Structure 1
Amino acid sequence: MKILVTGAAGFIGFYTSKVLLNNGHSVVGLDNINDYYDVNLKYNRLKELGIDTNEASEFNKACQSKKDLSFSFVRMNLENREELPKLFENEKFDVVCNLAAQAGVRYSLENPESYVDSNLVGFLNLLECCRNFKIKHLVYASSSSVYGLNKKIPFSTSDNVDNPISLYAATKKSNELMAHTYSHLFKIPTTGLRFFTVYGPWGRPDMAMFLFTDAIVNNKPIKVFNYGKMERDFTYIDDIVEGVVRILEHPNKERIEKNDLYKVYNIGNNNSVKLLDFIKEIEINLGTEAEKNMMPIQPGDVERTWANVDDLIRDYNYKPNTSIASGVKAFVDWYKGYYK
């Protein structure tokens, strides 16, 4: 198939593009390369995909000239109403995997406008393109943050999610509602994936795994929120991408026949791990004990997440199997090599 992967320079988008290419698909990557975190990490992910440039200032030119049979890259904002439809018209995609978004719960308290632009306006623009260019399937990133202050554990897609506690979560819930509307009105198969705390090599520098490792290596204290009384369904990147790709590659014939066009799944490790146990694994792999600053919970954070993935197992035989011990070791090994 020919597949558009938005957010291709991002953590999950990079890995998804890589697996799709290995599986023989033609992939067009799209990303705006914003400076929410170190852009050099994004450039280096793209280099792994064959998009090479020596100077960031030459990046646009490099991307325009670099195109092979399987992977090409476009630098663009999703909210660009003039250029995105042109891309769809020129490339004639079969399916779309939308992993582009302004990420981060805490940053949404500081810069809410960027979440509206990317996650709402951009997503609407994408839906319109899927509608007008007869896309066979839209798979898009939602988030475990939509569960807000839900107390029932583990989180299930049948739970009520009407009480988000961050703007980021509200935009992700809005994406699900928008997708439902387009599935209903225009018969577009859409699948939303509520990701649960993704970690692994090439991960985002604003995530706990990266922040803790970086601080410990540089002999700085780590911030442990809610005084360590946090639990997360930490999910290794390979397990996440396996689920994403299985859904992208599924033909969906039975869904179309049954008019069952709108789906939302949890995608996680199906296990809740204490934050302090997670930190302990990092300490073991670095051979250093962290200096911990115990702090109160931050606005927008939830105390515990845990994904019920029974429906994903049933429909796609999805079985995450990476342990915290092996996942943390893989990240620390990558970090040591990347930063020498």
Structure 2
Amino acid sequence: MTILVTGAAGFIGFHLSARLLKEGKRVVGLDNFNDYYDVQLKRDRWSQLVASPSFKGAEQDLADYEGLLALIREEGVTTIVHLAAQAGVRYSITNPFAYLETNLQGFGHVLEASRQAGIKHLVYASSSSVYGANVSMPFSVSDNVDHPVSLYAATKKSNELMAHAYSHLYNLPTTGLRFFTVYGPWGRPDMAYFSFTQKIMAGQPIQVFNEGKMQRDFTYIDDIVEGIYRLLDRAPQPNAEWDRVDPDPGTSYAPYKVYNIGNNKPVELMAFINTIEDKLGRKAVMEFKPMQPGDVTATYADIDGLMADVDFRPETTIEEGIGRFAEWYKSYYGAQADLQTAVKAAGQ
């Protein structure tokens, strides 16, 4: 098995690639090293991967369809894990074209290349953001998700629809993974827990939106990777019991399936911040702000499908996960990271 991981220098892509290499898999990693956040952080992740003889690195963009198809064919790729995307809910409000180009056109190129190359299983990143205006908890893959509240969420829902079309038309097995607020070492500086840590360490105030009255199903990176790894060998099969009169959005008569990967234990934002303070040994200066456009008050994953199909439930506690992140942060940036370092790392 040769596995192509797109976005291999990204947060999840790096950790997944490292796990695959550890398990003896051959990995082809693709990344364009855009400057959405600190490129040096991506380079430092990448350097660990290219040190392995089982890793083939390709610095190219998904916009280059011919280059993507050639890479897949030349390297004998059999499975693709598509993690490259323009991330971030708030950034999508001010930079919409980045999402249209990467998340729609880029994913279209991945789908078509998968069809042309005869890929056996395409696994791709969706997001808990697709649940949008839904308020029924926990969020289930069987829920209707037709009311996104950000362009980012709309592009991720579009990815699921595009994947289904290819599963239907070309019998391409596709698995969509709705990730819930991923955190951990080597994480993304644009994520709240990372920026909170930077600013607390630098003695700067943190902005706490919706007066801190938010809940998130924070999911540790190792749990995300474990879920992906277990699903790689489980290409979806057509569901013979799928009902066209009462359709289940999470499965299909085609080889298509969607899963939630979340901790299944939502945590209050203030409790999360208190945990960061505890693990850093410093108190935060907080500025309370109203709700931001495109944001939601709570996320909570129903993971029954993941448990039923691969017998996996994320178990890492917030205390464990934040503790490991804090240790990595102090090691990577230095325990006395100053404001200049923190701001640079945040890409501000």
Q: Secondary structure at the match of 2:124?
A: strand
Instruction: Specify which of 204, 224, 227 is matched with residue 188 of structure 2.
Output: 204
Please tell me the residue identity of whatever aligns with 2:128.
S
Partner of 2:41: 41
- Write the distance in 1 (CA, Å) between the matches of 2:50 and 2:71: 20
1:13-68 deviation digits (Å, cap 9, x = unpaired): 000000011111100000110000000000000112135xxxxxxxxxxxxxxxx6
Match of 2:310 in 1: 316
Q: Distance in 1 between matches of 2:66 and 2:112?
A: 12
User: Hey, what does 1:59 align to over in structure 2?
Assistant: none
Partner of 2:200: 216
Q: 2:98 maps to which residue?
A: 114
Greater alpha carbon shift after TM alignment, 88-97 vs 232-241 = 88-97
Q: Out of 273, 280, 293, which is 1:299 matched to? A: 293
**SS where residue 255 of structure 1 aligns?**
coil
Listed as ranges, the gaps of 5+ residues in structure 1 are 52-67
Compute the displacement of 1:176 (Å).
0.0
Deviating beyond 6 angstroms after TM superposition, the runs of 4 or more aligned structure 1 residues are none
Letter in 1 for 2:310: Y
* Residues 79 and 123 in structure 1, CA contact (< 8 A), matched pair in contact too: no
In the TM superposition, 1:257-336 aligns within 5 A as 260-336=254-330
Contact in 1 for aligned 2:50/2:57 (Cα 8 Å): no
Q: 2:216 aligns with which of 232, 250, 255?
A: 232
Structure 2: how far apart are the matches of 1:337 and 1:69?
27
The secondary structure found in structure 1 opposite 2:5 is strand
Gaps of 5+ in 2: 241-252, 335-348
Which one-letter code corresponds to 1:16 in the other structure? L
Tell me, yes or no, if the aligned pair for 1:194 and 1:265 is still in contact at 8 Å.
Answer: yes
Shift of 1:91: 1.4
In the superposition, the TM-score normalised over structure 2's length comes to 0.90
Q: Distance in 1 between matches of 2:301 and 2:238?
A: 27
Who is 2:71 aligned against? 87
Matched to 2:151, the amino acid is L
**Contact persistence 1:270–1:309 (CA under 8 A):** yes
Equivalent pairs, count: 322
> Percentage identity across aligned positions?
58
Query: Could you tell me which residue of structure 2 aligns to residue 130 of structure 1?
Result: 114
Among 323, 329, 332, the residue aligned to 1:338: 332
Q: Superposed, which structure 2 residues align to 1:52-71 within 5 Å? A: 69-71=53-55
In structure 2, distance between residues paired with 1:220 and 1:16: 33
User: Which residue pairs with 1:16 in the alignment?
Assistant: 16
Aligned pairs for 1:187-202 (under 5 A) are 187-202=171-186
Normalised by the length of structure 1, the TM-score is 0.93
Paired residue secondary structure (1:140): strand
One-letter amino acid matched to 1:48: Q
SS at match of 2:331: helix
**2:164–2:254 contact (8 Å) kept in structure 1:** no
Cα distance in 1, alignment partners of residues 106 and 121 from structure 2: 18
Q: Deviations over 1:127-161 (max 9, x none)?
A: 00110110000000000000001110110001110
**1:105-184 mapped onto 2 (5 Å cutoff):** 105-184=89-168
Give the letter for the 2:3 counterpart: I
Alignment deviations for residues 221-253 of structure 1 (CA, whole Å, 9 cap, x no partner): 000000100000000000000000111133x3x
**Contact 1:176–1:192 (CA<8 Å) still a contact in 2?**
yes
CA distance in 1, matches of 2:27, 2:233: 13
- Pick from 85, 92, 99: which aligns with 2:83? 99
1:82 to partner: Cα distance: 2.4
Q: Could you tell me how far 1:260 is from its partner in structure 2? A: 4.8
Deviations 1:278-319 (A, max 9, x none): 000011111111110000011110000000001110001111
Q: Which amino acid aligns with 1:188?
A: L
1:187-228 residue CA offsets vs partner (Å, 9 max, x unmatched): 010000000000000000000110110000000000000010
Does 1:31 pair with 2:51? no
AA at the equivalent of 2:269:
L
Identify the range of structure 1 (273-282 vs 80-89) with the bigger mean alpha-carbon deviation.
Answer: 80-89
Cα distance in 2 for partners of 1:35, 1:324 equals 29
Alpha-carbon distance in structure 1 between the residues aligned to 2:75 and 2:101:
24
Contact 2:150–2:294 under 8 Å retained in 1: yes
Structure 2 partner of 1:255: 237
CA root-mean-square deviation: 1.3
